[in-house]
Amino acid sequence: MAESGRSIWPARLRDSARIAEIYNQSIARRDSTMDIDPLGPSDVAMWLEKQEEREHLCVAQVDSDVLGWGILKRYHPRPGYARAAETSIYVDRSHTGQGHGSALQRHLIQISREHGYHHLVAKIWADNAGSIRIHERFGYEVVGVQREIGYVDGAWQDIAILQLILD
């Protein structure tokens, strides 16, 4: 998918280092993931190797630069959850506000439909208003907050649970 110089493609092994670099920005900031130790390219390569048929890891790039990535993964292995998936999006901190996150969101929603999903979930730090706002623009709604579910650097973190019901 190409949009104003931006392309979105399934992630390849060669993208692993850049995906890890972008994710590590969020790990270092302590504002959007419960991971606390930086990941390396081999960690991302393992994600790619372990992906299941209805899961999808993609990158947004301009020219040959990967500026963001998104993931669609099954919500739970129990058969009754087969039509539910979870999404996450990360954009290089120096390239936010340029539409990359929105393009990835549109792409993941389209892929979700193609894979037969009906319900999408996003788990976002409750004080990450920008990410919640972006999701709401795409129809996600906050359905609850899990209080003090994460513990990072000596502080409890709340997680907002958002959902999108696809038609």
pLDDT tens for each residue of the chain, 167 residues long: 555 689 999 999 999 999 999 999 999 999 999 999 999 999 999 999 999 999 999 999 999 899 999 999 999 999 999 999 999 999 999 999 999 999 999 999 999 999 999 999 999 999 999 999 999 999 999 999 999 999 999 999 999 999 999 98
The total number of structural domains in the chain stands at 1
- Distinct helix (H) and strand (E) counts, the chain: 4, 8
Residue 115, φ and ψ in degrees, nearest 5: -85, 0
Question: Burial code of 114-132, b = ≥16 C-beta within 10 A, e = fewer?
Answer: eeebeebbbbbbbebeebb
Range of the domain at 140: 2-165
Name the pTM for this structure: 0.94
Q: At 52, which CATH number?
A: 3.40.630.30
Which residues does 20 contact at the CB level (< 8 Å), separation at least 6?
Answer: 38, 39, 40, 41, 43, 44
